[in-house]
Amino acid sequence: EVKLVESGGGLVQPGGSLRLSCATSGFTLSSYEMRWVRQAPGKGLEWISYISSSGSTIYYADSVKGRFTISRDNAKNSLYLQMNSLRAEDTAAYYCAREVYNGGFDPWGLGTLVTVSS
Amino acid sequence: EIVMTQSPATLSVSLGERATLSCRASQSVSYNLAWYQQKPGQAPRLLIHGASTRAPGIPDRFSGSWSGTEFTLTISSLQSEDFAVYYCQQYNTWPMYTFGQGTKLEIK
């Protein structure tokens, strides 16, 4: 079974940092591009970061550029998101997702909640 | 940025009836469009990719179609488990994919 499990979320003060992890299983991570997508409470979905299968190509949405860093360790079957300089508007559920069919996301993890508040 | 506009925001339909959800792209995305279903407290689930191809394991009551920049998700006979929020997503402008704001499908 293909599975993604995020961890590392929690409550953090504005300006603080968190590192999210996404543990994968049931497929060969090194064969897939991966993404992080977030969803603010009661809101829609926002793609925030992309990483190629080897990790050599990375992109960010403007909303997180310069503050977030995506990385992966294919040997450990894991994806990461280092989040610095967090703001209240970064409060959201963060999902990792596997990119398939040249652009669809399947599956998604269950998500990890990040709350930025003083 | 391509803006995806979904309508209606909320759709009320009875069990067993047909539901039609719409998604419009602000410019051409070809057929590079996916539909997702999200239930409360759950992650989104891929239903349709390539505008009309069902993902593995998706029941055939779900179908997708498109004309130009207008995309439609049709659920032919609503089951209780189909009531959820549905999102469209364009993936024509790699890597800057964008989602619609969602349509909540509720029981009438």
- Supply angle C-alpha B84, B88, B93, rounded to 5: 155
| pLDDT score for A101 | 84
d(CA A61, CA A49): 6
Closest alpha carbon within chain B to A4: B43
Q: Do A45 and B34 touch (CB under 8 A)?
A: no
Range A90-95 average pLDDT = 97
Q: Do B89 and A107 touch (CB under 8 A)?
A: no
- The answer on pLDDT for A88 being more than 90 is yes
| pLDDT score for A53 | 96
- The answer on pLDDT for A7 being more than 90 is yes
Question: Confidence band (pLDDT; 50, 70, 90) for A102?
Answer: confident
Count CB pairs under 8 A between chains A and B.
Answer: 62
Range B50-69 average pLDDT = 96
Instruction: Identify all chain B residues contacting A47, using CB atoms and an 8 Å cutoff.
Output: 96-99
Q: Each residue of A16-69: pLDDT tens digit?
A: 999 999 999 999 999 999 999 999 998 999 999 999 999 999 999 999 999 999
Q: Do A46 and B99 touch (CB under 8 A)?
A: yes
Torsion sign over Cα B51, B52, B53, B54:
positive
Torsion sign over Cα B72, B55, B76, B15:
negative
CA terminus-to-terminus distance, chain A: 40
B-proximal residues of A, 78-97, CB under 8 Å? 95
Question: Confidence band (pLDDT; 50, 70, 90) for B72?
Answer: very high
Among B91, B100, B102, beta carbon nearest to A104: B91
Average per-residue pLDDT in chain A?
A: 96
Range B19-42 average pLDDT = 96
Q: Do B55 and A108 touch (CB under 8 A)?
A: no
B32 with B90: CB under 8 angstroms?
Answer: yes
| pLDDT score for A103 | 87
Range B41-58 average pLDDT = 95
Q: Each residue of B76-102: pLDDT tens digit?
A: 999 999 999 999 999 999 899 999 999
Among A45, A59, A104, beta carbon nearest to B46: A104
Q: Do B44 and A45 touch (CB under 8 A)?
A: yes
d(CA A96, CA A102): 17
B88 with B2: CB under 8 angstroms?
Answer: no
Mutating which of A106, A110, A112, A113 best tests the B interface, going by the most B Cβ atoms within 10 A? A106
